[in-house]
Chain A
């Protein structure tokens, strides 16, 4: 029965080796029929040869290379730059699916923002024993310095990129919240621009919701953050500099908003006021969209060896003379151990059930759960709580005995540092690989903007692809790529 249907999906040579597998396939239903919202794309692909697609792919790659949308390969003195692999075939999300995602993310961000305000003020949620006190206070991203600091409009998280995956049931669940300096939004926008040029006809007929207003929405969000007495605020983007792998994105966002891109060495703080050094003298800065981690923004307050920030910046922030997006200390809410409590956090502050579920999570801190994790290392994914970017991870089913042994020792030494989750069989989407269309695992990172009185999510996000066959890791630092994401009109 299944093989028959598979043959149907394989009716076209591009799809000859397409294997539906046991996971949710974004394009085909269980019977091997293209889902209604993918039908038009499927038909269009029928008319194209591998050569046509290859041509468009080369065109897209060249566009990225010429525009310098590249990252530097570390540890290579030739200064080799690579493009982030871009997959030609769009990932399509229906109107109804998006409505759930949007409502769920808004709810989640609102609750997490309230959580941050609470733990840096009265800490009611800790007193009520909903979240264990020691879990918050042992989190390396908890910033004692933020206690009782009033942040503008009580907005801690202005910009979020939340990672979602789709389970075999078709349900989207939250894999992790990125509340510090989420990246990738420039790829969401450039992927779209390239897509429009590579497939203009298809795009025009599909009814795809636009995402071009992201720059304006971001600027509005940052403006709302400005200190009240500064009616015409100067907004800047703070980058670690040209050697940062996301440097392209920093320049892209500054250009998109028409604001200055500054580095730490452009800034100086005098009498708790932040200035930037310009050709016309010093100019006051009001809002900083900082793409530098907490640790590095101020050598006086945090890491003394940092040259990426500005000395005195944190005091200026505390004095309310400059706003930071995101605020300092938000990392405590995307700690992977706190993550396990997010459903309870939503319930606690909003009195609502979470619209988007979490992935089941075992805290190694808990002796019972730790024992279970250590017994099932070969089945679970183990993650270090403070890491991101796919680092510090053990994927049980793909691991060697040696790696498992290493993690066993790590977990036993620092149980607070680790959590484990079941190895998710998250959904796959068709990708153009080596002249054929093949399924690859994908996730989805929408970008959420929070200006206090309004939460905006541009319809779309970054769909990241694990381009290596069978791989579950989508991070660009680990061989992942990305594709355009289409959210359809009703």
Chain B
């Protein structure tokens, strides 16, 4: 497969995952807003912005409309949903002949849908429905991908892109919730309520799955355990790391990779640390540093993928 194509598939997938993640967080945020005090609303929007690594819009960070608009429609914001979907589509266009027509049509439809949406109208109407539609559009794309594309090298690049994005984003999401929680022993104003933990689970579509394992008894430790270390839930960090590693193994196999599989080794190390991690130790130690490190490892895996498959030096390739 062309290196440029692998790159396009990988980013197409990452951007769609990012758009879906943002839509999910905003959807949950809007839902939570319905039963909150104005003060807690402000705190929660700030948290949401931090989870998405986005600076608050200048015109008053508390204003829900301004925030969601910036996160959704601001073309100057590279992480806005509309930007992510446009970039996903742009990448899909670059690799148009490598993906199925059904996949292309779906990403194109999703793009046309968000582009033609009017922020004012959505806000005055049913904003939650809009975010629901974005999420479903992204899910549909994943379903179409799984059922219409050969599960070969290209498909694995799509998997790696999606799960690497997810691992990093979930780690970040956990961090913005657990940092104030762990610091609350010093400053009670930062403490999180039951609703916040439920909100966190919902941000990872994990509430129902969590209840099946731990019942509706929502405790920070078990939330952390579930979202970090659960082996079977698709939005946990461990699950994502596992998929990244499997994907990289499959890619190495189909390309007969020469360079010792640095990306594979890094992914294996991340997965192993999550496989054998203990939530008590993580929380007792320095959880913020731990979550930070996961994100750093994700970035290292990304670089290793690039060095192995996309931007490798030509001299080395000619020698082999």
Please give the residue numbers on chain A whose beta carbons come within 8 Å of chain B beta carbons, in ascending order. 65-68, 79, 242, 247-248, 251-252, 254-255, 260-263, 265-266, 268, 270, 276-282
Residues on B with C-beta less than 8 A from A277 are 2-4, 314, 317
CB <8 Å contact, B109 and A242: no
Inter-subunit contact A279/B101 (CB<8 Å): no
Q: Are A280 and B97 in contact (CB under 8 A)?
A: no
Q: Are B105 and A261 in contact (CB under 8 A)?
A: no
* The residue from A66, A79, A255 contacting B109, defined by CB atoms under 8 A apart: A66
For the complex, what is the distance from the CA of A138 to the CA of B108, rounded to whole Å? 47
CB pair B4–A265 under 8 Å, yes or no, is yes
B256 close to chain A: CB less than 8 A: yes
Taking CB atoms, residues of chain B closer than 8 Å to A262 are 2, 4
Closest residue of chain B to A256 (Cβ to Cβ) is B97
Assess whether B190 is interfacial by the CB under 8 Å rule: no
- Knowing A280-B256, A281-B320, the reply to whether A68 touches B153 (Cβ < 8 A) is no
Besides A242-B94, A248-B96, A281-B258, 16 more A-B contacts (Cβ < 8 Å) are A66-B105, A67-B101, A67-B104, A68-B93, A68-B108, A242-B90, A251-B93, A255-B97, A265-B4, A266-B3, A268-B314, A276-B2, A279-B2, A279-B3, A280-B257, A281-B255
CB-contacts of B35-63 with A (<8 A): none
Interface residues of B in 217-253 (CB under 8 A from A): 251
Chain B, range 290-320, C-beta contacts under 8 Å to A: 309-310, 312, 314, 317-318, 320
Counting chain B CB atoms within 10 Å of each CB, the highest count among A65, A79, A276, A279 belongs to A279
B188 to chain A, nearest CB (A): 50
Hey, which chain A residues are within 8 Å of B90, CB to CB? 242
**Closest beta carbon of chain A to B185's beta carbon, Å:** 49
25 examples of A-B residue contacts, CB within 8 angstroms: A65-B112, A67-B104, A67-B105, A67-B108, A68-B104, A68-B105, A251-B97, A252-B97, A255-B97, A260-B5, A261-B96, A263-B4, A270-B314, A277-B4, A277-B317, A278-B1, A278-B2, A279-B6, A279-B153, A279-B251, A279-B255, A279-B309, A280-B254, A281-B255, A281-B312
Closest residue of B by beta carbon distance from A271 = B318
Q: Which of A68, A251, A255, A282 counts the most B-chain CB atoms under 10 A from its CB?
A: A68
- Cβ–Cβ < 8 Å partners of B310 in chain A: 279
CB distance from A303 to the nearest CB of B (A): 23
Chain B residues with Cβ below 8 Å from A66 are: 105, 108-109, 112
**CB-defined contacts of A65 to chain B, threshold 8 Å:** 112
Partner pick for A282 among B1, B251, B318, CB 8 A cutoff: B318
Contact A266 B96 (CB under 8 A): no
Residues of A within 8 A of B96 (CB): 68, 248, 251, 255, 261
- Contact between B257 and A242, CB atoms less than 8 A apart: no
CB distance from B206 to the nearest CB of A (A): 34
For B97, what are the chain A residues with a Cβ–Cβ distance below 8 Å?
A: 251-252, 254-255, 260-261
Could you tell me if A270 and B104 are in contact, using CB atoms closer than 8 angstroms? no
If over half of B's interface residues share one DSSP class (helix, strand or loop), that class is named, otherwise mixed; here it is: helix
Q: Which 5 A-B pairs have the closest CB atoms?
A: A251-B96, A280-B255, A255-B97, A254-B97, A279-B309
Contacts of B6 in A (CB 8 A): 279
Closest residue of chain B to A268, judged by CB? B314
Which of B97, B257, B312: most chain A Cβ within 10 A? Answer: B97
Which B positions have Cβ atoms within 8 angstroms of A?
A: 1-6, 86, 90, 93-94, 96-97, 101, 104-105, 108-109, 112, 153, 251, 254-258, 309-310, 312, 314, 317-318, 320
Q: What is the CB-to-nearest-CB distance from A243 to chain B, in angstroms, rounded to a whole number?
A: 10
In the bound complex, CA of A265 to CA of B255 (Å): 21
Closest chain A residue, CB of each to CB of B109? A66
- Residues of A within 8 Å of B86, CB to CB, are 79
> How near does chain B come to A260, taking the closest CB pair, in angstroms?
6
CA of A270 to CA of B313 in the docked complex: distance in angstroms?
Answer: 14
Q: How far is the CB of B215 from chain A (nearest CB, A)?
A: 45
Instruction: Report which residue of B2, B90, B105, B320 has the largest number of chain A beta carbons within 10 angstroms of its beta carbon.
Output: B2
- CA gap between A226 and B314 in the complex, in Å: 25
In the assembled complex, which residues on chain B have CB atoms less than 8 Å from the CB atom of A266? 2-4
Q: How far is the CA of A270 from the CA of B319 in the complex (A)?
A: 12
Q: Tell me which residues across on chain A come within 8 A of B112, comparing CB atoms.
A: 65-66
B258 contacts across to A, CB distance below 8 A:
281
Min CB distance A28 to B, Å, is: 38
Give every chain A residue within 8 A of B4 (Cβ-Cβ): 262-263, 265-266, 277
Residues of B within 8 A of A265 (CB): 4
The smallest C-beta distance from A58 to any residue of chain B, in angstroms, reads 15
- Most-contacted residue by chain B among A242, A252, A270 (CB, 10 A): A242
Residues of B within 8 A of A263 (CB): 4
Residue of B nearest to A282 (CB): B317
- In the assembled complex, the CB of A69 is this many whole angstroms from the nearest CB of chain B, namely 10
Q: Which residues of A contact B318 (CB under 8 A)?
A: 270, 282
Report chain B residues within 8 Å CB of A279: 1-3, 6, 153, 251, 255, 309-310
CA distance A65 to B105 in the complex (A): 9
Contact residues in B for A251 (Cβ distance below 8 Å): 93, 96-97
A397 to chain B, nearest CB (A): 41
- Nearest CB on A from B76, distance (A): 13
Of the candidates A268, A277, A281, the one having the most CB atoms from chain B within 10 angstroms of its own CB is: A281
Q: How far is the CB of A250 from chain B (nearest CB, A)?
A: 8
Closest Cβ of chain B to A111, distance in Å, is 35
Cα distance A58–B161 in the bound complex, in angstroms? 37
Q: For the complex, what is the distance from the CA of A282 to the CA of B310, rounded to whole Å?
A: 11
Smallest beta-carbon distance A74→chain B, Å? 17
Q: Which residue of A lies closest to B100 (CB)?
A: A255
Chain B residue numbers with a CB within 8 Å of A278 are: 1-3, 255
Q: What is the chain A residue whose CB lies nearest that of B315?
A: A270
Chain B residues whose CB sits within 8 angstroms of the CB of A268 once the complex forms: 314
Nearest Cβ on chain B to A274's Cβ, whole angstroms: 13
Closest Cβ–Cβ distance, residue A454 to chain B (whole Å): 27
Residue of B nearest to A262 (CB): B2
CB distance from A310 to the nearest CB of B (A): 12
Q: Specify the chain A residue showing the minimal Cβ separation from B257.
A: A280
A278 CA to B257 CA, complexed, in Å: 11
Q: When the two chains form their complex, are residues A242 and B93 in contact, meaning their CB atoms are under 8 A apart?
A: yes
Bound CA span A65–B93, Å: 14
Q: Which of A65, A247, A255, A266 has the most CB of B within 10 A?
A: A255
> Which of B4, B6, B251 gathers most chain A CB within 10 Å?
B4
Nearest CB in chain B: distance from A23 CB, A: 39
Q: Which residue of A lies closest to B154 (CB)?
A: A279
Task: Kindly name the residue among B6, B251, B314 whose own CB sees the greatest number of chain A CB atoms within 10 A.
Answer: B314
Bound CA span A67–B93, Å: 11
Q: Report the nearest B residue to A267, measured CB to CB.
A: B2
Complex CA–CA separation, A280 to B5 (angstroms): 12
A279 to B153: give the CA distance in the assembly, Å. Answer: 9
CB distance from B176 to the nearest CB of A (A): 33
